[in-house]
Structure 1
Amino acid sequence: MRKNKGRHTMVKRLFWGVLLVTLIFCSLGWVYRSNWMAGSIELELAQTGVIEHSEAVKAVFANEEYLIQAPVSGKVELLGKDGQRFRRGENVALIHPEGAAPGTISKELAAKVNAPMGGLFFQKVDGLESTVTPQSLLEMDLAKIVEQKENSQAQSDIVQAGVPMGKMVNNLIPTEAFVELNPSADLSVGKTIKLNLNGQVQSAKIMRKSDDPQGIVVRFNQYLDGTVNSRIQDVKWISRPPISGIVIPKSALITKGEELGVYVVQKGIFQYRKVKVLDENDTLICVENLPSGIPVVKNPRAGIEGLSANVKIPS
């Protein structure tokens, strides 16, 4: 009887020992799993922002420009700053005879260059002044116009007679442009679109559609600064109105059945939150049901709900 009792005690101790070891390993495994999963999680704060819908396109700008030919050869003395407005007939520059520096001879010997029209004077010319014009964009063969290449001439103080030394630009009439994009059905003549030029959103009315080359001719509401010295620019076409709200990374969105949601960190725990998507682009989504500033999991995965969020919270 004693022998059987001792054997029973040993089995009992062995059982509890194995059970204890199993519990320890399970606990360590759970801690390791939790730390490993949480450690590989990336967070980003939900913030108030704007979802924009824009497409990068190329624009060729046209203004009413008039070339000024140098009446004589010599050294140019500008009488104003580049882009300054002059009235018709005002002196925009003096040309001193070759070999003589400004100030070394009488001003009366210098040839006066007058503004042939009221407008802004620019010294830089690109060879497209008479080709890319508001009128040509509306009436001429766009394929031939767009294929023209800029031939910018280096600005120099020395000019030869008969060579363009600058130009006048009429800034009292609106700038026009050919915009290279797919002229879909909703881009009809007379419709107003918006373009982002160097951070400034400008409205423009569609004046003409073209299938070859693909694009539209638009007229802005006014003359646009920066479209003379940079005739060809990359701009952004705003294809849809922007939506503002709580913005988070698109990668944070997960699907549970027919429900959309995200994982957030609240009270130190990963928690699931159902959301409603208001708008999206390639990288961001705008959602309802989230407060601004709450940490959101950028790279969600199954099994993290309820785990301790042992990760650095972004500030």
Structure 2
Amino acid sequence: MPKTARRRPSFLVILGILFFLVLILWNFRANIFFGGYDIVAAQQGLVKHEKIVEVVFANTESVLTAPAEGQVILPQEEGRRFARGEVIAKIIPTGVDHGDTKEEITLQAPNAGLFYASYDNLEHIITPENLMNMDLNGLLTQISNTVTFSIDQNVPVSKHSPIGKIVNNLYPTWMFVHLDNSAEMVKDDTIRVIVGDYEYNGTVMKVVQQPQGAIIRFTQYVRGSTEARTGAVTWIVKSPTRGMVVPSSALAIQGEEQGVYVAEEGLIRFRSVKVLDDNGTFANVQGIREGDKVISNPKQKV
């Protein structure tokens, strides 16, 4: 029986297999070589200098009391602004002093401001004047046991009992800020803070040693400072810088030069850079391109 000729492997097939094997070996080598490193891409961004600090707000507040015993009818919208002399609430008398009459008694705003049906009995204690003049340790201690009250409109109130407060939002908000070290702020300096979605400017009126902190007067009323008398805000310690951003941990020293290690073409090369800014987490550097693959943990393994 005649033998059939064996078909020789195609040159293109052999070339394809070799290319595939080389690719696998190259990737295997790259994984072994770079596997111990954390690699991030350099990119344009901001290096911010911000700090979260605990604060206590103080506004100019007036507690409103019921002029007579009765059922109180309050506005539905909390924080609504009223003009001076505008009717804030109505009281339907129920006490014996009024006999059978049910004529409503109106309560007018003593000054323009925002009305809140809730109160905490600190309205005349945590004030801008007291922050500046009283012992802060004793003053701030009273905040720890704060209880917020609000009246039940279905239950009659007694005469002269609190029914809410009005906050003069035409007067600036004041703030005490807790600091790790009072030397972080200097009297008469201007500071910037972020409260909620808004940024505010304030002046350092007083630096305090006990407790460590400073008293700030803002240029305007701070939104949300009435609803939350205490809380955390973001202090912008200094203006951010924009540029090529890498992790601070990527910075390394080679000889007398400062730089970063960049992974390229299967190798790791040291690239000298100029550090323009550094907040301890991210650094703004000059000397590399956007997209360069930077080793973020060089001190550990390079």
Q: TM over 0.5, yes or no?
A: yes
Aligned position for 2:175: 177
How far the C-alpha of 1:53 sits from its partner, in A, is 2.1
SS of the residue corresponding to residue 148 of structure 1 reads: helix
1:61 to 57, 60, 66: 57
Aligned position for 2:291: 293
Aligned position for 2:16: none
How far the C-alpha of 1:39 sits from its partner, in A, is 3.1
SS of the residue corresponding to residue 109 of structure 1 reads: coil
Aligned position for 1:204: 202
The answer to whether the 8 A contact 2:61-2:124 is kept is yes
Map of 1:144-163 to 2, 5 A cutoff?
Answer: 144-149=138-143, 150-154=146-150, 156-157=152-153, 158=155, 160-161=157-158, 162-163=160-161
SS of the residue corresponding to residue 261 of structure 1 reads: strand
CA distance in 1: counterparts of 2:108 and 2:291, whole angstroms: 61
CA distance in 1: counterparts of 2:67 and 2:281, whole angstroms: 57
CA distance in 2: counterparts of 1:303 and 1:140, whole angstroms: 56
CA distance in 2: counterparts of 1:303 and 1:54, whole angstroms: 31
CA 1:114–1:302 in 2, change beyond 3 Å: closer, same or farther? closer
Aligned position for 1:10: none
The answer to whether the 8 A contact 1:79-1:91 is kept is no
How far the C-alpha of 1:95 sits from its partner, in A, is 3.0
Map of 1:1-315 to 2, 5 A cutoff?
Answer: 34-79=30-75, 81-96=77-92, 109-149=103-143, 150-154=146-150, 156-157=152-153, 158=155, 160-161=157-158, 162-181=160-179, 182-184=181-183, 187-266=185-264, 270-300=268-298
SS of the residue corresponding to residue 132 of structure 2 reads: helix
How far the C-alpha of 1:168 sits from its partner, in A, is 0.7
CA distance in 1: counterparts of 2:240 and 2:165, whole angstroms: 39
CA RMSD after TM alignment: 2.8
Aligned position for 1:15: none
Aligned position for 2:8: none
CA distance in 2: counterparts of 1:267 and 1:36, whole angstroms: 15
The answer to whether the 8 A contact 1:51-1:242 is kept is yes
How far the C-alpha of 1:274 sits from its partner, in A, is 1.6
Deviations 1:100-151 (A, max 9, x none): xxxxxxx963332221211111112122100011111122222221111222
CA 1:96–1:266 in 2, change beyond 3 Å: closer, same or farther? farther
CA distance in 2: counterparts of 1:79 and 1:30, whole angstroms: 73
Q: Which range is displaced more, 110-119 or 147-156?
A: 147-156
Matched length: 268
The answer to whether the 8 A contact 2:71-2:157 is kept is no
Q: Which range is displaced more, 188-197 or 113-122?
A: 188-197
CA distance in 2: counterparts of 1:31 and 1:171, whole angstroms: 65
Q: Who wins on radius of gyration, i.e. which is larger? A: 1
Per the normalisation by structure 2, the TM-score is: 0.78
Gaps of 5+ in 1: 1-27, 99-106, 305-315
CA distance in 2: counterparts of 1:176 and 1:152, whole angstroms: 20
CA distance in 1: counterparts of 2:194 and 2:36, whole angstroms: 38
The answer to whether the 8 A contact 2:202-2:216 is kept is yes
CA 1:159–1:192 in 2, change beyond 3 Å: closer, same or farther? farther
Gaps of 5+ in 2: 1-23, 95-100
CA distance in 2: counterparts of 1:270 and 1:159, whole angstroms: 78
CA distance in 1: counterparts of 2:256 and 2:209, whole angstroms: 42
CA 1:303–1:55 in 2, change beyond 3 Å: closer, same or farther? closer
CA distance in 2: counterparts of 1:38 and 1:264, whole angstroms: 11
Deviations 1:157-186 (A, max 9, x none): 2352232111111111111111112221x7
The answer to whether the 8 A contact 2:83-2:111 is kept is yes
Deviations 1:62-91 (A, max 9, x none): 111000112344443323521111111211
CA distance in 2: counterparts of 1:294 and 1:73, whole angstroms: 74
How far the C-alpha of 1:32 sits from its partner, in A, is 5.7
The answer to whether the 8 A contact 2:117-2:150 is kept is no
The answer to whether the 8 A contact 1:70-1:159 is kept is no
